[in-house]
Amino acid sequence: MKNNKILLAIMTVALIVITLITSAQIPTAKPEIKNLPIAIVNNDNSQLTTNIVDKLKNTLEEQGTLKVEILDNKEQVLNEMKSQNYYGALIIDKNFSSNITKLAAGGKEQARIDILINQGKNINVSNQLTNILSKIVDNIGNNLSTQTITTIKEKNVPLSADVALSLQKPIITNVEIVNGVGDLTFGTLPFFQITWMASLISAVILFINYNKKTFSNKLEEINFKMYNIIFMTINSLVIGYGTVYLIKWILQVEFNNINKLGIFLSTASLVVMILIYGLANWLKFAVIPLAVLLMLFSLPLVQLAPEMLSNFYINYVLSWTPVKFIVEGAKEILFFNGNYFNSNTEYLLIILLVGLMLLFTKFKTNKYI
């Protein structure tokens, strides 16, 4: 009977693990972009470009793929991209309509629409968005080509071979990468994975040592836990800066803000260690599979843009997992020149307080002295 209960427990745990990990993979199986925010700047402000922008905005929002907002100039777009408000943008040149008119009259200078891609916001999305925006510009060019040639023919104006050739591709474009990732094409996941696993192992070893000890009173136990916190603080600096320099050395990549990133990862490491130690204070060694599951469950989700996830994952998973705050905080420092103390750091400090509460609300002994 006892063996049957153990087998049943094993199968139940296995099913729970399979369910959790599979549910985390669902969004990555068929990721679909929905309402991805982009900006459009119409420097021309002619009737032609105004009609193009209005029609494009309505069409894209009806399709539900991209959410378009109209901004005043490129500088505003760049500032908004640094604040991670847009994934990309289309910049219509101020001479757009006049160049189209000149092409129809035999001119050689093409109209221009530039594409801006906020690569640092999400590397995977940036590649997809480059293709999407390039196709949009091509469609605009094809429509203008057809309309212009039709208008010329309707006016019975001879269409020379040179003009026809120029009108086949009336728009040129240039893709400009904003907040680029440089050598870090793998993103920030390696920084997180090393920090998380090193912190997890450190916390478990400290808990094993704590679990073996006996204390005569609470004060003695509190002093021991405080000693461990001091050690974890020192160890977090080793993990944080060690992670930065190991990735830089082993992967042979160059990046700025090494000290900022080192301080942030050290903070993240301290948070993870205290959280794991605090949870182990209540759950014992069940915290190990729990921490591993949390990492495996969260990793596929943090790689996707929020616009690719359902409200369930955004509101009930990513809203609280420390994995997101570590990944996003490192991204803000590496790709957006952010400070080590940012909004993600604030959330990590809240998690730190939770870990401390878990650590100091349960003791082995009830004696105070």
245-281 confidence digits (pLDDT tens): 999 998 888 888 899 999 999 999 999 999 999 999 9
Q: Domain extents for the chain?
A: 1-30, 36-178, 189-359
Q: Is the pLDDT of residue 105 over 90?
A: no
Q: CA angle, 231 as apex, 227 and 236 as ends, to 5°? A: 145
The CATH code for residues 36-178 is 3.40.1710.10
Token digits of residue 259: 């000290």
- Band (368; pLDDT cuts 50, 70, 90): low
> For residues 241 and 264, is the Cβ–Cβ distance under 8 A?
no
Q: Is the pLDDT of residue 369 over 60?
A: no
Q: Is the pLDDT of residue 165 over 90?
A: no
Residues 206-251: tens digit of each pLDDT: 999 999 998 888 899 999 999 999 999 999 999 999 999 999 998 8
Average pLDDT over residues 113-137: 94
Residues 68-82: tens digit of each pLDDT: 999 999 999 999 999
The burial of 119, by beta-carbon neighbours within 10 Å (0-12 exposed, 13-18 middle, 19 or more buried), is given as buried
Q: From CA 352, how far away is CA 171, in angstroms rounded?
A: 54
Average pLDDT over residues 299-313: 83
Q: From CA 200, how far away is CA 206, in angstroms rounded?
A: 10
- Band (366; pLDDT cuts 50, 70, 90): low
Identify the CA nearest to 184 among candidates 247, 140, 127, 241: 247
Residues 37-47: tens digit of each pLDDT: 999 999 999 99
Lowest mean pLDDT among 6-15, 226-235, 296-305, 318-327: 6-15
Q: From CA 178, how far away is CA 81, in angstroms rounded?
A: 8
Q: From CA 223, how far away is CA 286, in angstroms rounded?
A: 25
Q: How many CA atoms lie within 13 A of 74 on its CB side?
A: 14
Q: Is the pLDDT of residue 185 over 80?
A: yes
* DSSP 8-state symbol, 120: G
**Interaxial angle between packed helices 47-63 and 96-104, expressed in degrees from 0 to 180 and rounded to the nearest 10:** 110
- Mean pLDDT, the chain, whole residue set: 88
The residue ranges of DSSP E strands in 148-266, in sequence order, are 171-172, 175-178
